[in-house]
Structure 1
Amino acid sequence: MFSNKKAIQVLLPVYNCETYIRECILSIINQSFINFELIILDDCSTDNTFEIIKNCADVDERIKIIRNPSNLGIIVSRNKLIQLATADLVAFMDGDDICHPDRLKLQYNFLQANLNIAAVGSSYTILGESSLEYKLPTIHQDIMAHMFIDNAMCNPSVMVRLNELRQHSIECDINYRGAADYDMWLRLGAVCQLANLSQTLLYYRRHCEQESTSNRSRQQLAHLRVLEKLYVENSMPYDNELLAYLIWPGCQNLTYRTLINLGKYVNSLSESQNECTKFNSDLFKHLADIRYRGVCRRHKIKGLISYIATRGISGLLAGKFFGLVFAKDCIFSRG
């Protein structure tokens, strides 16, 4: 059914995305790189998604369609696509997002020129009124440093060498539903080199039907379970509650004791990385400190006192303009 002659296969699992799927498909078939096949797996959609896909396939022979006999979910569907793929390179995509016209060309050229890299993603822009651009780290050690806090590979922006996934038996783990892509790229990054292109090659749509929006609690719990496994493997102290405060500061009104404990936890994370060479440990320490400053900034004077009590004057002075910006924000914040 699928061609062995195509340089790239784009893997697109879809379910009930009639509002966005046509625009998504058009962004793929109008790529400047044309030697690809688009494999769409419809997970038993109950709206008009399947009909739209068939209409698109009628006008472009590069589109191949599969349909699950019953609704199996995004993780099983994505793994099924990986198992069916035959091209050397596969590009992931989601049915509600949009590709930059040069995405496939730029990622293909990068992987051809960098044979040591197993997977390459890109920076991305959130679709909407604000059009926020997210710049992701570009080199492997920096990506892995970010991964100890948050996912630094935007899944629908990634192109990966299929043989690396199969050689290391890597696919999405249904036990981490809500953060399965995060877990997958962490496992690949442990045995292969990852990269991101600095250009925005994906326009990522946020809406109420998404896993990340409608199941926020489940996603966060899965995120923490991924980190728990990662921290234990790297002999790092893991504290479920404190790490959650660090990653999602939100608007919680934390007590002074909790802020102090959080600062001490950041110190213990930094100390555990003094001898680490697996990733950019200095960058990780910097990221953890930035997160802690963000929490403290929300708590104004109480946060500033907590920061100095745990991170010290030397930590404060290491900030922008010797910590004056951070201190000013804490003292004069109205938030």
Structure 2
Amino acid sequence: MSIQNKKKLAVLLPTYNAASYLKESIDSVLNQTFTDFDLYIYDDYSQDNTAELIGCYHDSRIFYIKNEKNIGVTKTLNKGLDYLLPHYEYVARMDADDWCYPERFEKQLQVLDKNEEVFLCGTQGYWLKDLNLSPNEGWSYPVSAEYIKYYLLFGATFGHSSVVLRSAAFIENELRYDETKVNCQDWELWSRVSKIGVMVNLADFLMKYRIVGNSNHRSPEKQQIHFENRSKIIASYWAVFGITFSEVEIYNLYYACETVSNQDFRTNVDKMIAAFNLVFEESKAELSVTDQKNFSYLLARKVLSYWKRSGVSRNDFVVWFFILRQVQFMNKMRLLKSIIR
């Protein structure tokens, strides 16, 4: 189907037993300044009053599809993409417990329409327990495609429910979520997209993400699985830069909270810093001065985080000297200040 024959935008909203939040999410989508879209709510066999809630809406743009059994969010997302990508120029993600500002779609489509090389566009957002709050500032994802490529070594880099995908790019490259992933499916997909296409984030804060205590990666019983999945994705992505880490090494360096000997610490942090030095040197040809500075601080924070979690004393000046001598991605004085803080 040619772009001329496709409709402009579909919104893919998966839900499962989220009726208590769903109305806020739907209303924020329906209240967009850009109105030429259809909203597809894929219900993964909810057992609450989701169907009754959606039945109260009388908006021709809403389409409700309920799975015949619970298949999980990843398969539900792929089910939605398989149907929507061939029929719409763009597909926007939305989650049942999040909220978007009215200008979200308008601003994202302006970028996508003007930049055909962009595979997907995300936005900034506020992470909140109470969506009634309206903060003045918040923590930001990287904006430029160049910095996003490097930032994926450490984080998912996009608010999952903020992204808008270019359908033609996802069809042509057969891009779908990995259905073996029960979490981090977005991060894993973006790490594959980054190898073949351009991804950007708007600087605008156009989302509110609800912090839910029992979510896939925040519930204590699922956190270990979440860290293990992260470690697999990161280890695989480091190979893009010609650097080899095992999943176990990434887990130990990024997430583990286990005491190690001073000798093991020096061995581990030496490999970590060597990789950071190499990737930072490569990034200098691509990143702006501001992004270089931010990337440098990100790398330093990762080293200091591992140091803290390793149980090795922060008062060990032999370790101070060792780290200061090895690090090349940051000015020694700035690194020293970071260690002291």
Equivalent residues of 1:270, 1:285 under 8 A apart: no
Task: Tell me if 1:264 matches 2:277.
Answer: no
Structure 2 residues not aligned, in runs of 5+:
none
Aligned residue number for residue 176 of structure 1: 181
Aligned residue number for residue 75 of structure 1: 74
Equivalent residues of 2:304, 2:339 under 8 A apart: no
Aligned residue number for residue 40 of structure 2: 39
Q: Deviations over 1:177-235 (max 9, x none)?
A: 21111111111111110000011111111212311212211111111111222223442
- Separation of aligned partners in 2, 1:139 and 1:181: 19
Q: Which amino acid aligns with 1:216?
A: Q
Aligned residue number for residue 333 of structure 1: none
Which of these residues, 205, 208, 211, is aligned with residue 206 of structure 1? 211
Question: How much does 1:50 deviate?
Answer: 2.0
- Structure 2 counterparts to residues 38-117 of structure 1, below 5 A: 38-56=39-57, 59-85=58-84, 86-117=87-118
Q: Percent of aligned positions with the same letter in both sequences? A: 22
Aligned residue number for residue 9 of structure 2: 8
Question: How much does 1:297 deviate?
Answer: 5.5
Distance 1:81 1:303, change over 3 A: farther
- Separation of aligned partners in 2, 1:88 and 1:303: 58
Q: Which amino acid aligns with 2:301?
A: I
Which of these residues, 240, 243, 249, is aligned with residue 236 of structure 1? 243
Structure 1 residues not aligned, in runs of 5+:
330-335
Aligned residue number for residue 303 of structure 2: 292
Aligned residue number for residue 154 of structure 1: 159
Q: Which amino acid aligns with 2:176?
A: E
Distance 1:297 1:109, change over 3 A: same
Equivalent residues of 2:11, 2:40 under 8 A apart: yes
TM score, norm. by length of structure 1: 0.86
- Separation of aligned partners in 2, 1:113 and 1:212: 35
Equivalent residues of 1:136, 1:196 under 8 A apart: yes
Equivalent residues of 2:91, 2:165 under 8 A apart: yes
- Separation of aligned partners in 1, 2:113 and 2:180: 34
Aligned residue number for residue 332 of structure 1: none
Q: Secondary structure at the match of 1:195?
A: strand
Question: How much does 1:134 deviate?
Answer: 2.7
- Separation of aligned partners in 1, 2:179 and 2:19: 25
Task: Tell me if 1:326 matches 2:338.
Answer: yes
Q: Paired residues, what number?
A: 322
Q: Secondary structure at the match of 2:206?
A: strand
Equivalent residues of 1:237, 1:268 under 8 A apart: no
Answer with 126-135 or 68-77: which moved more.
126-135
Equivalent residues of 2:90, 2:165 under 8 A apart: yes
- Separation of aligned partners in 2, 1:167 and 1:306: 50
TM score, norm. by length of structure 2: 0.85
Question: How much does 1:307 deviate?
Answer: 4.1
Equivalent residues of 1:144, 1:279 under 8 A apart: no
